[in-house]
Chains A and B, each alone.
Chain A
Amino acid sequence: MNTIVSLLQAAICFGTVIMFGSLGEILTEKSGNLNLGVPGIMYLGAIASLTGAFFYERAVEVPNPIVCIIVAFVCAFLAAALGGLIYSFLTITLRANQNVTGLALTIFGSGIGNFFGGSLNKLAGGVGQISVSATSAAYRTNIPALASLGTVGDLLFSYGFLAYSAIILAVILQWYLNRTRSGLNLRAVGENPGTADAAGINVTKYKYLSTCIGAGIVGLGGLYYVMDYTKGTWANDGTIEGLGWLAVALVIFTTWKPVNTIWGAYLFGVLYWMNYYLPGLTRYSQELFKMLPYLITIIVLIFTSLRKKKENQPPANLGLAYFREER
Chain B
Amino acid sequence: MAHHPQNHTKEPFVRIVKRDAVSPQKAWGIRIIGLLCALIVCAILIFSLTKLNPISVYTSMFRGAFGTVRRSWQTIRDAMMLLCVSLGLAPAFMMRFWNIGAEGQILVGGVATAGCMIYLGDKLPTPLLFVVMFAASILAGAIWGFVPALFKAKFGTNETLFTLMMNYIAIQLTSYFVALWEKPFGSNSVGIINDRTNAGWFQPLFGQQYGWNVVIVLLITFGMYFYLRHSKHGYEIQVVGESENTARYAGINVKRVIMRTMIISGAICGLSGCIAVAGAGHTISVSTAGGRGFTAIIVAWLSKFNPFVMIIFSFLLAFLDKGAAEIASKFNLNDHVSDILEGIILFFVLGSEFFITYKLIFRKSEKASAKEEN
Stretch in contact with the other chain, from B2-10, B131-139, B168-176: B168-176
The reply to whether A104 and B172 form a contact with Cβ atoms under 8 Å apart is no
The reply to whether A96 and B351 form a contact with Cβ atoms under 8 Å apart is yes
The reply to whether A287 and B175 form a contact with Cβ atoms under 8 Å apart is yes
The reply to whether B354 and A295 form a contact with Cβ atoms under 8 Å apart is no
Interface string of B162-193 (1 = CB under 8 A from A): 10111111001101110110000000000000
Kindly state the interface size class of chain A when it binds its partner. 35 or more
The reply to whether B342 and A107 form a contact with Cβ atoms under 8 Å apart is yes
Given the contacts A94-B354, A105-B343, A111 and B16 also touching, CB distance less than 8 Å: no
Closest to A113 in B: B336
Flag whether A165 is at the interface (Cβ < 8 A): no
Interface string of B332-374 (1 = CB under 8 A from A): 1110111111111011001101100110000000000000000
Give chain A residues whose Cβ lies under 8 Å from the Cβ of B18: 325-326
Interface string of B241-278 (1 = CB under 8 A from A): 00000000000000000000000000000000000000
The reply to whether A115 and B337 form a contact with Cβ atoms under 8 Å apart is yes
How many Å lie between the Cα of A8 and that of B54 in the bound state?
A: 52
How many Å lie between the Cα of A110 and that of B291 in the bound state?
A: 11
Main secondary structure of the interface of A (DSSP, over half): helix
The reply to whether B334 and A103 form a contact with Cβ atoms under 8 Å apart is no
Main secondary structure of the interface of B (DSSP, over half): helix
The reply to whether B294 and A106 form a contact with Cβ atoms under 8 Å apart is yes
Give chain A residues whose Cβ lies under 8 Å from the Cβ of B176: 284-285, 287-288
Flag whether B151 is at the interface (Cβ < 8 A): yes
Query: Contact partner of B169 among A96, A108, A113, A294, CB < 8 A?
Result: A294
Chain A residues 61 to 86 lying within 8 A of chain B, measured CB to CB, are 86
Flag whether A100 is at the interface (Cβ < 8 A): yes
Closest to B186 in A: A283
Closest to B353 in A: A96
The reply to whether B158 and A301 form a contact with Cβ atoms under 8 Å apart is yes
Kindly state the interface size class of chain B when it binds its partner. 35 or more
Given the contacts A90-B351, A96-B351, A103 and B298 also touching, CB distance less than 8 Å: yes
The reply to whether B334 and A283 form a contact with Cβ atoms under 8 Å apart is no
Closest to B159 in A: A301
Q: How far is the CB of A114 from chain B (nearest CB, A)?
A: 4
Closest to A290 in B: B172
Q: How far is the CB of A274 from chain B (nearest CB, A)?
A: 14
Closest to A122 in B: B332
Closest to A34 in B: B160
Give chain B residues whose Cβ lies under 8 Å from the Cβ of A99: 98, 100, 160, 297
Given the contacts A97-B301, A325-B18, A104 and B354 also touching, CB distance less than 8 Å: no
How many Å lie between the Cα of A243 and that of B366 in the bound state?
A: 56
Chain B residues 94 to 114 lying within 8 A of chain A, measured CB to CB, are 98, 100
How many Å lie between the Cα of A326 and that of B16 in the bound state?
A: 12
**Could you say which of B100, B343, B357 has the most chain A C-beta atoms within 10 Å of its C-beta?**
B343
Closest to B301 in A: A100
The reply to whether A294 and B165 form a contact with Cβ atoms under 8 Å apart is yes
Flag whether A306 is at the interface (Cβ < 8 A): yes
Give chain B residues whose Cβ lies under 8 Å from the Cβ of A283: 179
Give chain A residues whose Cβ lies under 8 Å from the Cβ of B165: 249, 294-295, 297-298, 301
The chain B residues found within 8 Å of chain A, CB to CB, are 16-18, 49, 98, 100, 151, 155-158, 160-162, 164-169, 172-173, 175-177, 179-180, 291, 294-295, 297-298, 301, 332-334, 336-344, 346-347, 350-351, 353-354, 357-358
A to B CB contacts below 8 Å, 14 in the list: A36-B100, A97-B301, A100-B301, A108-B343, A109-B343, A112-B340, A112-B343, A114-B339, A248-B164, A249-B165, A284-B179, A287-B175, A301-B157, A305-B157
- The 5 nearest A-B residue pairs measured at CB: A108-B343, A111-B339, A284-B179, A104-B346, A118-B334
